[in-house]
Amino acid sequence: MNPAAMRLFKTKPVRAKSIDREGLEQAALIAELRARMPAVADLIYHVPNGGHRHKAVAAKLKQQGVVAGIPDLVLTMARGGYFGLYIEFKATPPNDAAISASQHERIRKLNEQGYLAVVCRGHFDAMEQIRAYLRLAPTVVAA
């Protein structure tokens, strides 16, 4: 084969795999909570609303109650008169994403309903917010 014929096939540029920095940092937060605060780790959960899904799966999830803008983490411990803590988790700058309009709206609505909903940028920020929240007195629940 001559060199001219070999040039007909161009190689595609190799793209580096995208790194889910937000996911990695959130996983680090959960690992730290499991190691240092197991009682908190037992009562915090992730809402897997984001990500790319096939249109049919996304439509099915929407029918089942998935709502855009729901924060990533929910801590079901009542403190300081709040019913619980919602955390919209973003990666540490400069890898953080903007807060969407639906996230702003959902955070506002959660705060109006007696929850503390906040945005945290990175695992250390989230840990500090959780520690501050836990320093509040437990919310008294009347039976």
Which CATH number fits the domain that encloses residue 61?
Answer: 3.40.1350.10
141: in domain: no
pTM, rounded to two decimals: 0.85
What backbone phi and psi angles, to 5 degrees, belong to 80?
60, 30
List Cβ neighbours of 44 (8 Å cut-off, separation of 6 or more): 30, 33, 73, 74, 75, 76
- What does each C-alpha distance from 100 to 1, 80, 141 come to in angstroms? 55, 28, 34
61: in domain: yes
The whole domain housing 48 covers 20-135
Residue that is written with structure tokens 């009542």 in the block: 78
pLDDT tens string 105-128? 999 999 999 999 999 999 999 999
pLDDT-derived band of residue 7, with 50, 70 and 90 as boundaries?
A: low
129: in domain: yes
What is the total count of domains within the chain?
Answer: 1
91: in domain: yes
60: in domain: yes
pLDDT-derived band of residue 8, with 50, 70 and 90 as boundaries?
A: low
105: in domain: yes
pLDDT tens string 47-91? 988 667 788 887 888 888 888 899 999 999 999 999 999 999 999
31: in domain: yes
